[in-house]
Amino acid sequence: MPRLIDVMTNGPVDTAALSVRLTSAAPGATLDDHAVWLADLRRFAGAMHLAALGIVALIGGAGVMAVIFAVRSGLAIHRHVVELLHLMGATDRYVARQFESHVIGLTLRGGMTGLLLAAGTLGGIGHAAAGLHASLLPDLATSPWWAVAALAAVPLAACLLAALTARWTVLRTLESMP
């Protein structure tokens, strides 16, 4: 039967020297240094962090494209109304604000729904991981305040991005209209 010895120290350990001493004292003995697999795990977590940021960027880009498409479609559908507003003296900024407010309302509703679903998912993960001694799963209840604030700020950031995109799209499109 193999035997396992768990050595705990307060300071750094020279693992190479310890391995040599172990093999001389007990031929066939191996030394498992957790720093090796921990470094691999940290490297993997960093790669997953970058992948998550890439996914967020892709989702943000898709959101911007969806807002551009929706605003251009709305402008095409309501072209006669926009032309009539211009004849009555409405400025491009006034028309852009109407589209912005509509897009902000839709984005805020969708963002708050997504926030509630994300909080529910994180709460469920925290509940599922309750009692585990070595969980790699996030727990919303023990997250730092800035992480919870960042999660809560996502719908607001989406609203700002959607409003800026809508404004830019409307103003650019209205420049090309007679």
For 54-64, what is each residue's pLDDT tens digit?
Answer: 999 999 999 99
**171-178 contact pairs (CB < 8 A, 24+):** 171/92, 171/93, 171/96, 173/71, 173/72, 173/75, 174/75, 174/82, 174/92, 174/95, 174/96, 175/92, 177/79, 177/82, 177/83, 177/86
pLDDT score for 178: 66
Question: Whole-prediction pTM value?
Answer: 0.69
Task: Tell me the mean pLDDT in the region 83-106.
Answer: 90
Residue 161's pLDDT band, with cuts at 50, 70 and 90, is: very high
Q: How far is CA 149 from CA 102, 111, 128, 154, 155, in A?
A: 26, 14, 23, 9, 11
Element (H, E) at 108: helix 92-128
Q: Which of 4-13, 79-88, 93-102 has the highest mean pLDDT?
A: 93-102
pLDDT score for 116: 94
In one letter, which amino acid is 26? A
Name the DSSP class of 140. G
